[in-house]
Structure 1
Amino acid sequence: MGRAAPKTASSKALDIMNQAISDHRVLTEIDNARLMKLFDSMRRDGVSKVEFDTLSACYYALNADINNLIISAGSVLDAVISGYEDFNYFADNSFTALGNSLMIREVYKYMKLYNLPLSSMSEDIAELFMTTSILMNDHLSYNEIKSGLDHDSASDKVKMMDQLQSFLLRNQKISSHLSSYICDVFSIVSKDVSRKAIIEYLLPMISNYKIALHNDDGYEFIDISFIFPKNTDFDAVFELEDDMLQIISKLDYSPEVKTKISFNFVIIDDGLSDDH
């Protein structure tokens, strides 16, 4: 049997990965075997480095292989910045892979290097940049992107991020530390906890989260819940949450910062999306 043509191999690889994302599951052994054959075919048939690195970034994201994800996505985005490629679906997919892997600082780094007008972005990427901006405590970028988005200003996404923005503004003296703490925890969840979830429990990468504002007898704090799909084993989630809490307890932040933000894991099925 002849090898698949490069375009067919690329599209087939993307279909396999998108199906796993849609099903909220890990890549199966069969998926991985098929992907390795398709990647090999792409190498031999001369798919461009930008396209190959884009697909690699998506693959590494699904496996929570964060170091290789950053290398592959960075290769794509550096090429786009240098003018080698236009801002297109290669860059979109690389940003999405980083965003779905909770790599907030990496998304922000390339977002600021681009400094693109909203007219050059898809709505999904604009929303990712909006979310990233407020998580990075960049209110100017957040407000600019939000004002240019063509969707319901009362959407759950915007409401959630508006709550976080208001919270950061009310705690402006420590807002940079709160932002840094959130980004550090997201990185821990992505690099450590998500990897364990995939390898030991065959759970999908931890990608979705919800942010809620709480007031406990006058003390205001933010609760960030990382979401697992319905029917996930409760004991596995409990152990993973315990791992996360043990790691973040060692982070060097003041009690004032740590008591302002709580982190937990939840199992929920209310229309999970593949973005944030």
Structure 2
Amino acid sequence: MTLQVTPTVDATGSLDRPSSTWTGWGQWLALFTMTVDHLTRYALPDGWELGWAGSSIGRIAFPLFAAMVAWHGLFNTRNPLRYARRILMIGLVAQLPYMLMPRSTDGLILNICFTLSLGLTGGVWLQALRERLERGALGPLRLIAEVGLAVAAWATAGLWVEYSHLGLLMIPLYMIAMRALHEGGEALAERLVATAMALPVLTVAGLMNSSDLAKSFTVATCLAILLLAAGAHRLIPRVPLGMPRRLWLGWYPGHFAAIALWLWLAGGLG
């Protein structure tokens, strides 16, 4: 999942740029928690009774990946749609080894990169929609048509991607919350409005999992990210060892391929 982008002001020039040093730490944490989730789910024997790790540590990965994509798409990249296409390309490479994982559901499911790419595309559309409405550049018929098409696309895509409909909402809702928290003034009314904008993404995070343990880790991850957007990003030092780009780009498809090979050698795919 390609999250390393050249820092710059967004295409509209309307947002100042917060510090993104926290994403250096986020990359290491995201890969670690994702790997723990997938190892406990697919590779390690059930008799080891490590399901708790996937329901706790593993629940950090997706909201963290979604947060980094939303953050870079909102604050750092000059062309967020091109950024979404790069994520999609990684998803295409990873899809075959992903499909080799033992799954409890039938049918084709597209991996998390598709969820992130489509979610970022939706977030970009929402940001552009807001700006056009503020300029009065969008008529009511065009607004109804665009919203209708967006809802239809979300309803259809949610049937095919990992984390389904709720997963597709994470990045657009993150972007709304991050922008509100970052732009919020010091007045009480402004802070209350910014806080209210954070509630939808926290609600969706809570709905994504069934167990209380999983819910708590997912919501806590989202809350930590929102605190960063509200100003805590200034307190995060630069990571001592940056993630090598090739490792970052190759880990997602590569670790699925390694798990698939292990399962094949162990007879799990036969």
Q: TM-score, normalised by structure 1?
A: 0.26
Choose between structure 1 and 2: higher helix proportion.
Answer: 2
Q: TM-score, normalised by structure 2?
A: 0.26
Which of the pair has the greater relative contact order for Cα pairs under 8 Å at 6+ separation?
Answer: 2
